[in-house]
Amino acid sequence: MPARTQISWHWLAFLIAFILLVALGWQGKQTQEQVLATNLSVSHSLEIITATQSMLSSLQDIETGSRGFVLTGDPDYLDSYELGLRQIEAHRRTLQGLLEQRTFPDQRWFEQLDRNIAERLLIAAGNIQTRRTAGLQAAAERLHQAGGKLIMDRLRALLDAVERQERKQLAAANQAVSETIAHSRTLALIGSLLVAALSLAAF
């Protein structure tokens, strides 16, 4: 009878150790999937941040190019202006595509963005045209009175709001990854010790 009890205990110990090994494997797979999902989220946030910065860069090219031409009359400044014009719409489409699954920003944000972009482009084009047709003094006066700086400040605020939101998500995602990995390591350590103890007890 004691021999049978000892044999039963050996089998039970092996069975529990096997179950623990399976559980550890499952936990490792779950951790890997969670980390992968978080990494995808991090990558998406970084793409959004890059898109907002690219859009702001194009707007700044338009602003500095038109301003430089107004103040100097040097047509070389129009190169950056025209580059910004060519890129702004593509950056706008990219940003909207990346933000489709986000709750922020909403449609009203895009409407404000588009309205301010349109106003900024009209002001820049008007400043350039005034410089060409009316000269430096008239163009400089228009430059200071047209409100281009105010609109650029609005555009920066709109784009900065999205970037700040994405950076918050990045911080939360990084924290979640750290906690998931730490939890997984703790479980793996405890599980490994239990498996080792059960394996020794089985002999």
For residues 25 and 44, what is the distance between their CA atoms, to the nearest angstrom? 29
Looking at CATH, the fold of the domain delimited by 46-166 is given as Four Helix Bundle (Hemerythrin (Met), subunit A) (1.20.120)
pLDDT tens digits for range 2-46: 545 545 666 666 667 667 667 767 766 776 767 677 778 888 999
pLDDT over 60 (residue 129): yes
Cα–Cα–Cα angle for 51, 57, 61, rounded to 5 degrees: 145
* Domains of the chain, residue spans: 46-166
**pLDDT at position 157:** 97
pLDDT tens digits for range 151-193: 999 999 999 999 999 999 888 877 777 777 777 677 666 767 6
Q: How far are the Cα atoms of 29, 41, 57, 90, 153 from residue 64, in angstroms, in the given order?
A: 52, 34, 10, 20, 14
Q: What is the mean pLDDT of the chain?
A: 85
**pLDDT at position 39:** 73
